[in-house]
Amino acid sequence: MGGLIYQVDTLHFIPAISNIAAAFIGNYIGGGLIIGLFYAYLNDHHQFYKNN
């Protein structure tokens, strides 16, 4: 673990976990929702529109 983290004794658990949680939430919103909605928009073939 010493090679993975430069100074293990100065690592604080709560800020590290909150940083990982914030990155996870940001990646979920950015990658999952925004990019997913963009791909859904690109693949829209107007198949659910009513013909008037």
Residue of higher predicted confidence among 5 and 27: 27
Angstrom CA distances, 1 to 5, 9, 13, 30, 52, stand at: 6, 11, 15, 31, 66
pLDDT of residue 52: 59
SS3 46: coil
pLDDT of residue 45: 77
**Quick one: tokens of 3?**
């090679």
pLDDT of residue 24: 93
pLDDT digits (tens, 9 = 90+) for 10-46: 778 888 899 999 999 999 888 888 888 888 888 887 7
How far apart are alpha carbons 40 and 8 in whole angstroms? Answer: 44
